[in-house]
Amino acid sequence: MSVEKPQPVQHLADYRPWPFTLSQTRLDVTLAPRDTVVLTELDLEPSDQPVDLVLDGGAGLRLQSLRIDGLTVDPAHVLRDDETLTIRAAALPRVPFTLATDVRIDPQDNTAFEGLYLSGGIFCTQCEAEGFRHITFYPDRPDVMTTFRVTLRSDLPVLLSNGNPVRAQDGVAEWNDPWPKPAYLFALVAGDLVAVSDSFTTRSGRAVDLNVWVRPGDQDRAGFAMESLIASMRWDEDVYGREYDLDVFNIVAVDDFNMGAMENKGLNIFNSKLVLASPDTATDGDYERIEAVIAHEYFHNWTGNRITCRDWFQLCLKEGLTVFRDQQFTSDLRSAAVKRIEDVQTLRARQFREDQGPLAHPPRPDRYEEINNFYTATVYEKGAEVIGMLKRLVGDDGYARALDLYFDRHDGDAATIEDWLKVFEDATGRDLAQFKRWYTDAGTPVLTLQETWQDGTLTLHFTQQTPPTPGQPDKPARVIPIAVGLIGPNGDEVAPTRVLEMTEDRQSFSFEGLGARPVASVLRGCSAPVMLQRQMDDATRAFLLAHDTDPFARWEAGRELALSALTQLARGADAGDDYITAIGALAGDADADPAFRALCLNLPGEEEIATRLATTGTTPDPDAIQQARAGLARRIAMAHQDLLAELYDTMTVPGAYSPDADAAARRSLRIAALGLLGRIDGGDRAEVLFGIAGNMTERMAALAVLLRLGRGDSALRMLHDEFADNRLVMDKWFGIQVMAAPPSDAVAVAERLAARPDFDWKNPNRFRALLGGLAANHAGFHAADGSGYAFTADWLMRMDAVNPQIAARMSTAFETWPRYDAARRDHARNALERIASLAGLSRNTREMVSRMIA
């Protein structure tokens, strides 16, 4: 592949501090869809050496005037290119000065949703990572932190910005943010909005007004977001001792948003799908996610805002830690065991997948072309896993001391991963030089285990090896915390969990004085983000599934049993009886948490089976995988139909819908049973349930069963008639049709849906619903004739011209392409090359595609 124009690459090693000091930013913004006026005043101090002042600012900024201390700067001293504005050193005072710019921008033209844009008549902003430079000329880098004073002018009734309100009158609102912040945390919102309001008194007595702003008519669906916010504020005080620091906290829901949500200081802006929920429109999964993301954004107030990142290479400093904190929050509020299993499932599905393909990168990358391409599962989810390992290694007390030191030492700083590791070293006395490799090295280590047993001693012999990743052929050994417990032959635990610290390429650990040979339960709680390879027969796996005291390891034993059966079936062998027996026992275990039972009953997805085949040297055949999985599900249903029918009938939840963990757990077991029964009852139960269910969780589950059987038409019509005006439900309507379509129909269904007038593809949620739905239909996306790839490529090219971030992000549908057969690889390569050769392709998509076909 030839990339037409070399792109500028940013390198971690090139970091230099900004050579000026910015002591305050004042903005005066007069909002208008086509001609917004942005007046900016920057109070600057030069450094000792005379240097040019370089500000970021794109071609879309129409500069009307540029003044220093009130005097127009001589144009001979001003240079502009596509990305910057430079004032030559000769034109700059050698003493503190104020730089004033008058810039005009067009929010209405902004379809990329970066900077200031309009979403359904609401003005809003998205400035992370580098959106502020689309609003005004500025040192748009996270290590330039200052206070902001903002004046907004508009006829719209609600005018919001960061910090505390100073005054609001006659179409003018003033906001003052006393906490220094980088530009990526700036936000403004103006619109016809209504609030669900509440208040919170912090533990030191600060009264905080809380508002969740939504469109008129949506108030009824904003209550859960507010409850989640209050729970988050309390939790951060109780667990981390972190208090909120302004008089108001505003959350705004908008329909057009590239990501999930954004932690702007005191003014979080959310994708409406992560705010709005009611039982008839949102599933249990939606509720749990809303709670987690509200918490995530709120927790950023300390981990991200009060302490930010020195540069974008350090992104996982704030994201890994904040994900780790939101995971802790959910485990405290709901079931810790279930949450851990769900998190590991996500980690494997998204991050292991990324790590095994051409897009692999370390949690702290050291180069990038487009930073928006690095908001990845590796930075977020693996970033969180690395913190989990640190905590496991230094213990809960050590972790608490390190975090206190981090907040004390770095409050107000733009910090680095080195700063982060240093607080752990200083608080605990531990040397973390080797541990740092988790941040700098890409790839998922493969841990192999062999066991020996002699004279009452069980010895575990581990080796670790990390496969090469782009730019990193050789990987030295890492510190791997391996949590191990032992289960005796009668099923009792004979040794409780102990964390082994592996630091070498090969290392052995012994357990002495044992009466009879126990079964080792290894990597309990998924104590490290590694892949474990271990010879274990199905009977031993079934034993662990029945007896392991660690819920994660227990689930994992079942998972391994299922994967062992499914990979054999996909290779054409006969397998699965052990799994079917073992899973029946677990599903019928009334003492086990229903959510746990549901997790065990849900078979690994086709993507996960493909990954397992690929990592064990077999080229995955998507159709064979799909059939193997459907066949095993059918056999489970046949073998356990009475039990499943009983679960389906009894795991109902009496009374009004509640999204709490217990109710959601029962529903999850009920719909797991429904899904399996659907394999043998022709979908009759699903048909009935769809018509009578009072909540979206059960309706979506029923609809998925019906669609898989090709009998979803009337349910789809009903849902459409009821919710045609509800964007979020219609997103589900689009997505599930493609996701649950029989694979041979998936592309045709996607084509038909894409031709509909209500396929509002410029809306990121709608686009993701359809294209993401296809990517999630493994055998459909990987159709042997390449039609799934071609359809996706066509749409990515169309989207790229409108919204490069979304096109680039969705291009990851292709990231596993090298592992398929030669014919599929040819189709995929053609599709990627077609994208690469598109004239005017964005930097975002170009970088992604060229990494994938490098």
Q: Which residues bind ligand 0A1 (CB under 6 A)?
A: 126, 128-129, 258-263, 296-297, 319, 372, 375, 805
Nearer to ligand 0A1, 161 or 527 (CB): 161
Positive or negative, the CA dihedral 8, 12, 17, 22 is: positive
Q: Lay out the sheet containing 207-214: strands in order across.
A: 194-201, 207-214, 248-254, 267-271, 261-262
Calpha distance 67→757 (Å, rounded): 49
The one of ligand 0A1, Zn ion, none whose footprint includes residue 625, by CB under 5 to 8 A per kind, is: none
Nearer to ligand 0A1, 235 or 511 (CB): 235
Q: How far is the CB of 839 from ligand 0A1 (least distance, A)?
A: 25
Nearer to ligand 0A1, 260 or 588 (CB): 260
The residues facing 267 across adjacent strands are 250
Q: Could you tell me if 149 and 24 are in contact, meaning their C-beta atoms sit under 8 angstroms apart?
A: yes
The one of Zn ion, ligand 0A1, none whose footprint includes residue 847, by CB under 5 to 8 A per kind, is: none
Q: Could you tell me if 835 and 804 are in contact, meaning their C-beta atoms sit under 8 angstroms apart?
A: no
Q: Could you tell me if 37 and 30 are in contact, meaning their C-beta atoms sit under 8 angstroms apart?
A: yes
Q: How far is the CB of 548 from ligand 0A1 (least distance, A)?
A: 34
Calpha distance 632→112 (Å, rounded): 44
Nearer to ligand 0A1, 72 or 346 (CB): 346
For 616, phi then psi, to 5°, come to -110, 20
Nearer to ligand 0A1, 126 or 378 (CB): 126
From the list 62-70, 319-327, 328-336, 482-490, the region that binds Zn ion by CB under 5 A is 319-327
Q: How far is the CB of 783 from Zn ion (least distance, A)?
A: 35
Q: How far is the CB of 242 from Zn ion (least distance, A)?
A: 15
- Quickly list DSSP for 385-448: HHHHHHHHHHHHHHHHHHHHHHHHHHTT-EE-HHHHHHHHHHHH----TTTTHHHH--S--EEE
The one of Zn ion, ligand 0A1, none whose footprint includes residue 128, by CB under 5 to 8 A per kind, is: ligand 0A1
Q: Can you read off the two tokens belonging to residue 717?
A: 């019509």
Calpha distance 300→244 (Å, rounded): 11
Calpha distance 556→583 (Å, rounded): 12
Q: How far is the CB of 135 from ligand 0A1 (least distance, A)?
A: 14
Calpha distance 430→389 (Å, rounded): 14
Q: Is 354 a catalytic residue?
A: no
Q: How far is the CB of 292 from ligand 0A1 (least distance, A)?
A: 11
Residue 150's nearest CA partner among 135, 127, 166 is: 166
Residue 158's nearest CA partner among 218, 93, 215 is: 215
The one of ligand 0A1, Zn ion, none whose footprint includes residue 267, by CB under 5 to 8 A per kind, is: none
- Quickly list DSSP for 707-745: HHTT--HHHHHHHHHHHTT-HHHHHHHHHHHHHTS-HHH
Q: How far is the CB of 744 from Zn ion (least distance, A)?
A: 39
Kindly tell me the burial class for residue 622, based on how many C-beta atoms sit within 10 Å of its own C-beta (0-12, 13-18, 19 or more). Answer: buried
Calpha distance 507→498 (Å, rounded): 16
Nearer to ligand 0A1, 128 or 606 (CB): 128
Calpha distance 104→109 (Å, rounded): 13
Residue 579's nearest CA partner among 599, 596, 557, 598 is: 557
Query: Which residue type does 767 have?
Result: F
Calpha distance 198→228 (Å, rounded): 12
Q: How far is the CB of 258 from ligand 0A1 (least distance, A)?
A: 5
Nearer to Zn ion, 319 or 548 (CB): 319
Query: Which residue type does 459 have?
Result: T
Nearer to ligand 0A1, 261 or 729 (CB): 261
Query: Which residue type does 754 have?
Result: A
Instruction: Give the active site residue among 128, 174, 291, 297.
Output: 297
The one of ligand 0A1, Zn ion, none whose footprint includes residue 262, by CB under 5 to 8 A per kind, is: ligand 0A1
For 147, phi then psi, to 5°, come to -80, 150
For residue 472, the 8-state DSSP code is B
For 551, phi then psi, to 5°, come to -60, -40
Nearer to Zn ion, 293 or 852 (CB): 293
Residue nearest to ligand 0A1 (CB): 259
The one of ligand 0A1, Zn ion, none whose footprint includes residue 668, by CB under 5 to 8 A per kind, is: none
From the list 63-71, 141-149, 283-291, 315-323, the region that binds Zn ion by CB under 5 A is 315-323
Nearer to ligand 0A1, 297 or 538 (CB): 297
Q: How far is the CB of 793 from ligand 0A1 (least distance, A)?
A: 23
The one of Zn ion, ligand 0A1, none whose footprint includes residue 381, by CB under 5 to 8 A per kind, is: none
Q: How far is the CB of 811 from ligand 0A1 (least distance, A)?
A: 15
Q: How far is the CB of 126 from ligand 0A1 (least distance, A)?
A: 5
Residue 10's nearest CA partner among 141, 123, 152, 126 is: 141
Rounded (10°) CA dihedral 381, 412, 162, 236: 50
Nearer to Zn ion, 294 or 799 (CB): 294
Indicate which residues carry an active-site annotation: 297
| Residues at the contact surface with Zn ion, assessed by CB under 5 A | 319, 322
